Amino acid sequence: MNNFIFTLLDTTQHFDDRVVAQGARGWSIGFTRFKYDGDIIESTDPDELLQQAVATGARYCLFLTYGSFISEVWAPAQADNQPSDQVSNSDGGVLESLARWIDHQDFSVAGKFPENGSGLPDFLFIDLHRACQQGTPSFDILRTWGVENPLPAKLSNQIVSFDSSKQDTGLITRLKELTANLRKAVFVWNIESYDDIQSPAPTFRGPLSSLYTVAAGFKPNRILETHGFNPDTRMVIFDYSRQGLEHRRLMHDEWNGEDYPGYLHHRFRTTGHKDTHYLLWHGATTENLDWSLMELRWQQELDVWGGALAFKHHWQRFQALEFEYLHCDLLQTPEEILRRIRNQPGSLIWWSNAFLTLDSIRRYTTDQRKSIFRSWIGNLALMAPQLHLYGSDCNNLSVNGFTALDYAGWLSAAVDDPLDELTPRSLNRVSMRY
């Protein structure tokens, strides 16, 4: 994505409420960061944005306004029946799909200006080299080119806006519904890569003495397996979803490590769905689930482990450990988990992307999430400097394998700019993204 640059137009003056404007800004930045870790240029002047984008040397520019954002969806890899109107992670996501589209298209600007010819669009995708052919690029020049929207619908529908009636309001409704369900959600699968935890950091000395982990899929188990554990390894599972914690507890007590789809089928039948939201892939619910895709996803998991017997052997050792389950929201009540963290060799914490979720984007501005994340790291470094960190920062940049003390030192030197990534890319050992 080195030939891409993102620009964000500050449209605060178009909102009646400045707080709402900042919330819209947070959605734009937050959603962009799910897949894009490059620079974002921000200004109140659209022509200035174009000129700054050209100065970066990037070939293509994705122009967004406050409230417009990219929506990514997840589907199991090789799923033949994923919705045809959506781009999912199995396609590489929206940005990779855009990059493939570029290779087969001859275009100058993709997008759509308002029908009356005035004002600015929610988004444009611009070939900056062509925009410079008539001198200094400007939006007046772009308008004269008669902008059309040649993007495939499955791409343009996922570049959406909160407040535009011409966009996919159904998608926005689904996003709002999802954020409302997250605090009673069960993540039955991980949608992160395991690459970041496949090999321990050079500074880590196993086996694990303590593992502090969110309740999501099998990534905690993979951490145990790759970093080493023994009967004395201490497990603390924390999450802001009580239902997610209960699912992990029941799995530990009831499940034998065989036929995970069969176990989920049992749980779906016996759980009161009014109080539990099972997070599956895009469009899937416990009522309409294609179980052949569930079987496919389970086989993909087993392949990582080297087969069903290897996984079952791990699960039997895992069940013998002692567990503590802790209801804790890292952004609201981090002290709950901080009180339980010990400063000891061989300890590790994985918080996934807690500081950049749909829920955290909805509840906090970009600046607030940054401040909360800095405080979290500072407290970890103070209380457990030897603790190894895994997860992502408030811009979804990976924090992988550094001790709390080392990472806090690097973080304290980071530029205090709302749009600058807090974690230097050079510190990322392996990305946690797919």
pLDDT tens string 101-158: 887 777 788 876 666 555 677 788 888 988 888 788 888 777 776 655 567 777 777 7
d(CA 357, CA 31): 9
- Angle at CA 196, nearest 5°, toward 193 and 199? 125
Read off the amino acid at residue 168.
Answer: D
Query: Tens digit of pLDDT for each residue in 48-62?
Result: 999 999 999 999 998
State what percent of residues in the chain have pLDDT above 70: 82
Residue 250 contacts by C-beta under 8 Å, 6 or more apart in sequence? 267
Token pair 């570029």 is found at 102
d(CA 104, CA 132): 21
From 188, 232, 181, 183, select the one nearest 210 (Cα to Cα).
232
- Whole-model pTM: value is 0.82
Do residues 154 and 63 make contact, with C-beta atoms less than 8 angstroms apart? no
Which pLDDT value is given to residue 165? 38
Which pLDDT value is given to residue 400? 87
Length of the chain: 434
Averaged pLDDT, 200-216: 95
For the chain, give the mean pLDDT: 83
- Secondary structure element (H or E) that encloses residue 202, with its range: none
β-pairing, 60-65 vs 123-127, is antiparallel
Which pLDDT value is given to residue 417? 52
From 164, 105, 166, select the one nearest 130 (Cα to Cα).
105
- Is the bond preceding 207 in cis, omega lying within 30 degrees of 0? yes
From 356, 358, 349, 360, select the one nearest 326 (Cα to Cα).
349
Which pLDDT value is given to residue 419? 52
d(CA 364, CA 351): 18
DSSP 216: B
Give the CA distances from residue 154 to residues 7, 159, 395, in Å, rounded to whole numbers and listed in that order: 22, 9, 25
- Angle at CA 255, nearest 5°, toward 254 and 258? 160
Q: Is 9 helix (H, G, I), strand (E, B) or coil?
A: strand
Residue 388 corresponds to which tokens in the numbers above?
Answer: 């190894």
Averaged pLDDT, 195-206: 92
335 vs 161, residue with greater confidence:
335
Which pLDDT value is given to residue 398? 83
- Choice among 66-75, 86-95, 258-267 with the minimum mean pLDDT: 86-95
230 vs 288, residue with greater confidence:
230
Residue 55 corresponds to which tokens in the numbers above?
Answer: 């100065």
- Quick check: 243 pLDDT over 70? yes
